[in-house]
Amino acid sequence: MSSNPSQLRLGIAGLGTVGIGVIKIVEDNADLLSARTGQKITIAAVSARDRGRDRGVDLGAYAWHDNAVDLAGDDNVDLVVELMGGSDGPAYALAKACLAAGKPFVTANKALIATHGKELAQLAEGKKAALRFEAAVAGGIPIIKALTEGLSANNISGLHGILNGTCNYILTRMEREGLPFDEVLADAQRIGYAEADPTFDIDGIDTAHKTAILAAIAFGMAPDIDNLPTEGIRNIVSVDIDYARELGYRIKLLGVARQQDDGVEVRVHPAMVPLSSPLANVMDATNAVTVSGDHVGPTGYEGAGAGQGPTASAVVGDIVDVARGVWYPPFGVPAAELGSPAHLGSEAHIGTYYIRLKVADVPGVMADITQTLAREKVSIDSMLQRGHADDGGVYIVLTTHETTEEAANAALNHFNALECVLESPAMLRIEAA
């Protein structure tokens, strides 16, 4: 650490949008940060792949490291900020080198924490070095601080999160404008809301990393991205959005973590949430999380989930905590106590479901449908039939009473085998989020 206890010198690895945002905050709000921490927070060194790129800020006053891992051994750097991304490679190497040297490490890297969180927490605790990652989940929303600090007196029963702004933006525009998924995705890519390769977002992987981190903190378990059932929004079509609205729901991509009697249920998937739910009214690129505790009850958190300002704000918030001397185990409990509770597979989930069928308009179809559901002991809560599809088929939409996902999937498999069913059935979970 610095020989001057009133100074905290930063090394920043990664000078993309968020890295530049951190530099701007540290430079622009220097007096505010000093007043709030009792230390002068400065930037000593930086690292990025392209030294010559114009990033819109003057980097001339900072030492430059071509190899980001060298920041861990730089005696003029007291705290390293990692904003490169990726679960392995330079980010992982830098994290291990910093923590092994006892140097505080702040990151916005959800893939790194979801994949290697327990190992890094053990390194951090062994050296009493801070490991902070508020910006890894939900951008500017302080949800990790809420779980580790504000709600620490509570047993958490469950949480639901809209954790990917790209997906929420796409679903919002599909509903508002009646546009198909592919058209909205292309527009989101054009304006910079979605990457050229949007897989990470639209297939739920980004949400899964964030959900794994939240579940780890909420339930005192090691992050486990490998046992987290994940579905994205690629298969959501306009007709499902229309029927959802008619039934009193809105479709959202959710990260769900819930404590059950026989284990922990953690999953990511699109779901229908009641229009009366706070999450149903979170639109565009906004993120939101609801958390239920045994004493506090339900709590809600909403705000910008991405972007330079919100994410950089969360990063600097972690730096401020380190400067103030705030330290606790990264996941709220010692890494050695992070459990490995039974992971409940999606087939064990008990809930209600939306099922859409496209069928031939011929006698006996309804009998086939009801007999198939009865065979799997799935009972119908409501049913809609609205006109004809373009090819002469008829859409039949039903919602179920509570049943197991195993039974609902078995019914879908039987539907696929019926001659009257013209295309693969669609199914969405209904969440009382």
Residue positions annotated with a catalytic role: 210
Return all residues near 63 (Cβ < 8 A) that are at least 6 apart.
44, 45, 46, 74, 76
Give the other-Cβ count within 10 Å of 276's Cβ.
10
Helix axes 405-417, 365-375, angle to 10 degrees: 140
Tokens of 202: 């639209």
Euclidean distance between the first and the last CA atom of the chain, given in angstroms as a whole number: 45
> 3-class SS at 27?
helix
CA atoms within 13 A on the CB side of 69: 10
Distance CA(384)–CA(365), nearest Å, equals 14
Distance in angstroms (rounded) separating the CA atoms of residues 193 and 331: 30
CA dist 236 and 238 (Å) reads 7
Residue 88 exposed, middle or buried by CB count within 10 Å (0-12, 13-18, 19+) = exposed
β-strands 156-162, 249-260: how paired? antiparallel
- For residue 326, give the 3-state DSSP assignment: coil
Among 79, 88, 87, 142, smallest CA distance to 300 is for 142
Radius of gyration of the chain (CA): 24
Backbone angles phi, psi at 325, to 5 degrees: 85, 15
271-275: long-range contacts, CB 8 A cutoff, minimum separation 24: 271/428, 271/429, 271/430, 271/431, 271/433, 272/244, 272/247, 272/354, 272/428, 272/429, 272/430, 272/431, 273/249, 273/430, 273/431, 273/432, 273/433, 274/248, 274/249, 274/432, 275/245, 275/248, 275/249, 275/250
Chain centroid offset of residue 190 CA = 23
Find, among 248, 251, 280, 238, the residue nearest to 395 by Cα: 238
Beta-carbon contacts of 155 under 8 Å, excluding residues fewer than 6 positions away, are 259, 293, 294
